[in-house]
Structure 1
Amino acid sequence: MPGNASGGGTAVTRSTLRQQIADALRDEVLAGRLQPGQEFTVRQIADQYGVSATPVREALVDLSAQGLLDSDQHRGFKVHRFSVDDYRTMVEARSMVVDGVFRQRTERCSAAPSAQALLSVRRRAEEAARAARAGDLDILIGYDLRFWRELGALVTNHYISEFLHRLRVQAWVFAVPYLRSDPAPAEWLWSGHEKVVDAVTHGDAEAVRAEIHACNAHALAWADRLERGPAPADGSGAAGGRPAPAPARVPHGRRER
């Protein structure tokens, strides 16, 4: 394990190592390489990443607190298996929260974020929409999460933004195995990110709410389809339930979350 974080020359503290491990494992889950129900121990992860057990345990506890892992003091940890009903609840919860956020903005006549502040969000929107139309999950997930997180930071407070981000991560964790096993995932990937940014740019809270409602309705329609059709066995997707590869060390320069 290198002694410095990449690019900055700053010593890697236990806190940053803990976050790197948590980010790396979250990426493995979002990529579908760690499957729902897959079990592992602190020692296995520590050996895979070539680090001590303490920051690994802390990272796994953090991911458990975020609802992504289940812990068992006798068997270690496993990736949480969300149900279709869980997914619906996530979508409905974020819909209610976002509806409240924009209703409040309308009542307070809040000004739209500046065009300069929205530049980065618009770039995320363009990349996410392009990846969704192409059915490219590897590109889409990171940009989609960054898009909603950056947009949330502009239009609501930190606590609501972080709550919504957690719901979106959980929703992606549920969706990834199913979408990767779908021969035509683009049909079920929402690509209206740019319309949301346009509405925010114009300060049109009602239009923003309408676009986000369309996004959530799209997600619920997909959940209905899942219940009508066969689900992947044991929650597995295109990876066929194979064990996750064992990385040699914690990657540096993780993608922004």
Structure 2
Amino acid sequence: MRASGAVTRSTLRQQIADALRDEVLSGRLQPGREFTVKQIAEQYGVSATPVREALFDLSAQGLLESDQHRGFRVHQFSVADYRAMVEARALVMDGVIRGVFREQPPSPERQARYREALVSVRRRAEEAARAARAGDLDILIGYDLRFWRELGALAGNAYIGDFLHRLRVQAWVFAVPYLRGDADVRDWLWQGHSDLVAAVTLRDREALRAVVDHYNGHALNWADRLAAGDPDHLGAGDPARPDHAPRPPGAEEDPDPAASEA
């Protein structure tokens, strides 16, 4: 009975952590929002213990801040934080690209694993595109995170995958408050999911590097616009918003965007 209870509590802890993470990712829990263990426990109708554990889990992931006297607060990332996230993932992904192509030619086992994984990755890319066309940011975030998670699994290093996933979650947390209510959100979203899948499928190193460079350059360009506080991209009384962020040099027009922030 004790083991069963432990499993139940652990499962509840994870469910609460997942639910709160979704609230932060969706922007329903805004950066700077404060709350206590008691408030969350009452909201979900559960005891304080799994809530406290879930909140500390999210704090360890960098999404919440813990205050001994005031409870918890949703972490507020700055533009500088966002730039650092992008730069960190660019460095790691550069190493991943080199590692993916180290085995020449790939073994039959590796080829089979690639083909199987890419079926799901390609589907995620298509789903992200549909969500972007519909302007459904909630669905887009979920598909985008799954797309990168599954694509990253091809590298075969779970530690790298976890690190990059954490960065992308944090990047979305930073971006979402700027996107809610923006009618032109689709104008700036990154559109290279399918190109990335094609490059990986063909094992084209140069094409893969070009798409990844575009992905990271796009994000850094957006960060520059936010940091500059371009008046063409500000609403009255609003924080800087990424409306109509220009494409990086060399980017091609695509009337059917597959979107991603991170």
Q: Which TM-score band (shorter chain)?
A: 0.7 to 0.9
Aligned residue number for residue 60 of structure 1: 55
Deviation string, structure 1 residues 129-152 (Cα, Å, up to 9, x no partner): 232344321211000000000111
Aligned residue number for residue 27 of structure 1: 22
Aligned residue number for residue 9 of structure 2: 14
Tell me the distance in 1 between the aligned counterparts of 2:130 and 2:105.
30
Aligned residue number for residue 88 of structure 1: 83
SS at match of 2:29: coil
Aligned residue number for residue 211 of structure 1: 211
Query: TM-score, structure 1 length as denominator?
Result: 0.82
User: CA shift at 1:107, angstroms?
Assistant: 3.3
1:42-191 map, 5 Å: 42-109=37-104, 111=106, 113-191=113-191
1:40–1:78 contact (8 Å) kept in structure 2: yes
Aligned residue number for residue 260 of structure 2: none
Aligned residue number for residue 5 of structure 1: none
Aligned residue number for residue 201 of structure 1: 201
Aligned residue number for residue 38 of structure 1: 33
Q: Match for 2:59: what amino acid?
A: S
User: CA shift at 1:20, angstroms?
Assistant: 0.5
Name structure 1 gaps, 5 residues minimum: 1-10, 238-257
1:133–1:186 contact (8 Å) kept in structure 2: yes
User: CA shift at 1:235, angstroms?
Assistant: 6.7
CA gap of 1:70–1:82, structure 2 versus 1, over 3 A, is same
SS at match of 1:71: strand
Name structure 2 gaps, 5 residues minimum: 1-5, 242-262
Tell me the distance in 2 between the aligned counterparts of 1:93 and 1:189.
20
Q: Match for 2:132: what amino acid?
A: A
Q: Percent identity?
A: 71
Tell me the distance in 1 between the aligned counterparts of 2:104 and 2:235.
46
CA RMSD of aligned residues (A): 2.3
1:133–1:191 contact (8 Å) kept in structure 2: no
Q: Match for 2:80: what amino acid?
A: D
CA gap of 1:232–1:44, structure 2 versus 1, over 3 A, is farther
2:36–2:72 contact (8 Å) kept in structure 1: yes
Tell me the distance in 2 between the aligned counterparts of 1:231 and 1:74.
35
1:131–1:139 contact (8 Å) kept in structure 2: yes
Query: TM-score, structure 2 length as denominator?
Result: 0.81
> Structure with the greater relative contact order (CA < 8 A, sep ≥ 6): 1 or 2?
1
Tell me the distance in 1 between the aligned counterparts of 2:156 and 2:79.
28
Tell me the distance in 2 between the aligned counterparts of 1:145 and 1:217.
19
SS at match of 1:67: coil
